[in-house]
Amino acid sequence: MTYAERRNLALAVLAAFIAIVLLSACGTTERALPPYERPLAKTDFQNVKTTAYTHTESDHREYSNHNALGGELHAAGPPIHRAEAVPRAIPAYEVPRAIPVDETAETEVRRASYSPQLQPFSKKRTTRTARTSKGRSASSRPEQSVPGSAAADWSRWPAGTVFRLLSTGQTYRVEDYGWALSGRNTIDLYMPNQRQMNSWGAREETIQILQWGDPQESLQFLQSHQNYKHIKRMVFELEGRHKEAAALR
């Protein structure tokens, strides 16, 4: 065997080895979709699992601080606390009285007890004061806080869906999606930094839907990206092909 033949054989073996390595790598990096969950009923109030993400995570760095719609990610405003049970004066008819012989103490406790109503959220309204040419102060209109960004399965919460966390009063808008959210009843809340993301962790939350996004607009946006399995699953669901969405792995 000549030198040229030995060199060609060595190059062929090397090429075959590289091909095997690349094929093996492709097989190991192919991710399976998360287990499919049956969609929640589309009601005004829902109990969902929430997680948190930030733009400095490894799987989001290539997108910087931008969402799937091309806009910038926004953190929600500070929590708006509410009193769960505000003490109130007890009317005269609720003052404990002498217990007749034919009533038990348990019956009287039930009669005298009451459940104060939950107080509604009171959003902070920030006003700006400007000084006029005559030196008088004039207040401008209250500033409206921008909802925080959230990621979710767009077949369950279409892009543009606005909701409020009942535990904090903060509002969010669905603007993003992700591989781990496809076919899941989980909403990912955007946090401005790693510390706040880790602090939130994973929590079960009750949300109030303030505005539903348009499923047809979400479908039109996603149809051009179906080469990704997590997007294809969302498209199947938006098209009403739920069995195919559940079967996709």
Across residues 140-164, what is the average pLDDT?
86
> Residue 79: pLDDT above 70?
yes
Q: Choose among 85, 71, 64, 59: nearest CA to 179.
A: 59
Q: How many CB atoms lie within 10 A of CB 234?
A: 27
By the 8 A CB rule, do 73 and 67 touch?
yes
User: Residue 200's pLDDT is what?
Assistant: 96
User: Residue 63's pLDDT is what?
Assistant: 62
Across residues 212-226, what is the average pLDDT?
95
Helices then strands, each counted (H, E), the chain = 6, 8
Give me the CATH topology for the region 33-71+147-247.
Barwin-like endoglucanases (2.40.40)
Tell me the pLDDT tens digit for each residue of 21-67: 333 333 334 689 999 999 999 999 999 999 999 988 655 556 667 89
Annotated domain spans of the chain: 33-71+147-247
pTM check: above 0.85: no
By the 8 A CB rule, do 148 and 77 touch?
yes
Residue showing tokens 């505000």: 86
CA distances from residue 28 to 21, 23, 105 in whole angstroms, order as listed: 11, 9, 69
Of 71 and 137, more confident: 71
Cβ neighbours of residue 41 under 8 Å, at least 6 residues apart? Answer: none
User: Residue 36's pLDDT is what?
Assistant: 97
The Cα–Cα gap between 11 and 158 comes to 53
